[in-house]
Amino acid sequence: MAFEIPKQVYSGSIKTVTIGKGGKAITLGGETSYPFYVFEGKMPNLPRIAMEVWDVDPGEDWAEPAKEPFKDVLGDPVAWAKKCVNEYGADAIALILVSTDPNGQDASPEAAAATAKKVAEAIDVPLIVYGTSNVEKDAEVLPAVAEACQGMSISIGPVQDKNYKKIGAAALGYNHTVVANTPIDVNLAKQLNILLGQLGVKDSQILVDPTTGGLGYGLEYSYSVMERDRMAALTQEDEKLQLPIINNMANEVWKVKECKLSNAEAPELGDQAKRGILMEAVTAVSLLLAGSDLLIMRHPEAVKLVKSYIQEMAG
C-alpha cells in the first residue's frame, strides 16, 4: 500500500533574532514547521540553552544537588558565569538580578547594573539579564543595566505591559534585545509585541517569554499557550507572533518540594539529584516540543542531556 504522509500546510515562518555579538552571537528562530517536524519543514537554528546565574548566593533557596556543581562560585556571578561557559558549554548566560527584589535585599539599580556589566565583559557568549518581575523596580533596574552594557548587545527582561515603555526605550537607545513577558495568554503576548513595535522596537529585537509553569505545577498552561502561539504564527500568518520563544524555566522546576526533598526525607522518590536533573530535562523536552527556542536551565547534567536530545531530534 503506497502511503503518503498527509501534509500540514504552513503559510508563515518564525522570524530570526540574533542575540549577543561577535563569533559567539546566536541566531534564534527561522522555523518553517511545528517544532521538530523536520520531515516537512526546516529548523535552521536549533533551540539553544542559556545557563542561569544569580547575582547573589542562592543559599537555602536552591536544592543541594543544584548548588553542588557551582559550590566554588556561588555568590560570585562573574566566576559563576565563566564556569558555565568554560566548563559546562553554556550557549548563553542568563543573569538573574535577585538582589534587586524589593521584598529582599532591594539592591540599587546602579549596583545591579555594575554586576551585569562585569558579567557581560567576562564572557564571550550572549548575556540575558532578568529582573525580578517587579514592575516598578524592573523599570528602574533594567534601563540602568541597558545603559551600563551599552554596545554589548545583551537581552533584557521581563518587559511587561506595565513597564514596556521605560524598558523598551532603554533597549532601543542602547541597541539591546527585549524579552517580552505576558501571563500565559496568546492575545496578551501579541498585544505586547504590537505595543513594543509602536515604540519602535523591531521584530528582530524581541524574544517572547510566555511565562513558564513548572513540571507538575502548571506546565500544561505554558505548553498549550506555546502550541497556540506557534499555530497562529505558522498556519494563520499572525505576524506579531512569529517571534522566537524563551522559557525562564529553571527556577520553576527546582523550587518545588519534590526537588528539595533529600534521599533521607523521601526515599520513595528515588535519588534526589537524578530526580531533579530529570525533572528539569523532562520540562525542557516538553517546552521544546511546544516551540521553545531558548531555554534558561540550571543543572549542567540536565543541560548536557537536553543538548544531545536537540541534536538527535533535529540533526
Partner 1 sequence: MALTGIEIFKLLAKTNCKECGYPTCLAFAMALASGKAELDACPYVSEDVREKLAEASAPPIRPVKIGMKDQMKTIGGETVMFRHEKTFFNPTLIAGLLTTAMSDADVDAKIETFNKMQFERVGLNLRPEMFAIKDADGDAAKFAALVKKVMDKSDAAIMLMSDKAEVLKAGAEVAKERRPVLYAATADNADAMGALAKELDLPLVAKAKDYDALADLTSKLTGMGLKDLLLDCEHRSIKEAFQDQVVFRRAALVPKFRPFGFPTVTFPCEMTDDPMKETLYAATFIAKYGGIVVLSDLVPHTVFPLLLERLNIYTDPQKPMIVTQGIYPINNPDENSPIAITTNFALTYFIVSGEIEGSKVPTWLLIMDTEGLSVMTAWAAGKFVGDAVGMFVKKSGIEEKAKTRTLIIPGYAAAISGDLEEELPNWKILIGPREASHIPAFLKSL
Contact 85/49 with Cβ under 8 angstroms?
no
Residue from 11, 72, 264, 312 in contact with partner 1 (CB under 8 A): 312
**Is residue 187 part of the contact set for partner 1 (CB under 8 A)?**
no
281 binds partner 1 (CB under 8 A): yes
Distance of CA 61 to the CA centre of its chain: 20
Q: Using CA atoms, how far apart are residues 131 and 163, in angstroms rounded to an integer? A: 12
Residues 213-232 that bind partner 1 (CB under 8 A): 213, 215-220, 223-224, 227-228, 231
Nearer to partner 1, 82 or 275 (CB): 275
Tally: H helices and E strands in the chain: 11, 10
SS3 22: helix
Decide: is 254 part of the binding site for partner 1 (CB under 8 A).
no
Q: Which of residues 146-185 bind partner 1 (CB under 8 A)?
A: none
Q: Of 102 and 151, which CB lies nearer to partner 1 in the complex structure?
A: 102
CA 51 to CA 223: how far, in whole Å?
A: 21
Q: How far is the CB of 120 from partner 1 (least distance, A)?
A: 27
Which of 8, 105, 236, 262 binds partner 1 (CB under 8 A)? It is 8
Map the footprint of partner 1 across residues 12-41, applying CB under 8 A. Answer: 36-39
Of 138, 102, 119, give the one whose Cα is nearest residue 55: 119
Q: Site for partner 1 (CB under 8 A): which residue of 45, 181, 286, 292?
A: 286
Q: Does 279 bind partner 1 (CB under 8 A)?
A: yes
Mark the segment that binds partner 1 (CB under 8 A) among 14-22, 47-55, 193-201, 256-264: 256-264
* DSSP structural state of residue 15: P
CB 245 within 8 A of CB 207: yes
Backbone torsion region of residue 181, taken as left when φ is above 0, otherwise alpha when ψ lies between -120 and 50, otherwise beta: beta
Q: Which residues contact 246 (CB under 8 A, 6 or more apart)?
A: 128, 157, 179, 207, 208, 209, 292, 293, 294, 295, 296
Q: Which is nearer to partner 1, 72 or 312 (CB)?
A: 312
DSSP class of residue 200 equals: T
- Is 9 an interacting residue with respect to partner 1 (CB under 8 A)? no
Q: Which of residues 54-113 bind partner 1 (CB under 8 A)?
A: 103
| Residue 152 grid cell | 554589548
Quick check: 157 and 209 in contact, CB under 8 A?
yes
DSSP 296: E
User: Shortest gap between Cβ of 274 and partner 1 (angstroms)?
Assistant: 4
| Contact region with partner 1 (CB under 8 A), list: 68-76, 108-116, 204-212, 280-288 | 280-288
Give yes or no for residue 285 binding partner 1 (CB under 8 A): yes
Size of the site for partner 1 (CB under 8 A): 54
> What whole-number distance in Å separates Cα of residue 180 and Cα of residue 244?
11
Residues 308, 78: Cα–Cα separation, whole Å: 27
Q: Using the minimum distance from each CB to partner 1, give the nearer residue, 73 or 282.
A: 282
Interface residues toward partner 1, by CB under 8 A:
1-3, 5-6, 8, 36-39, 103, 213, 215-220, 223-224, 227-228, 231, 255-258, 260, 268-272, 274-275, 277-279, 281-283, 285-286, 289-290, 301, 305-306, 308-309, 312-315
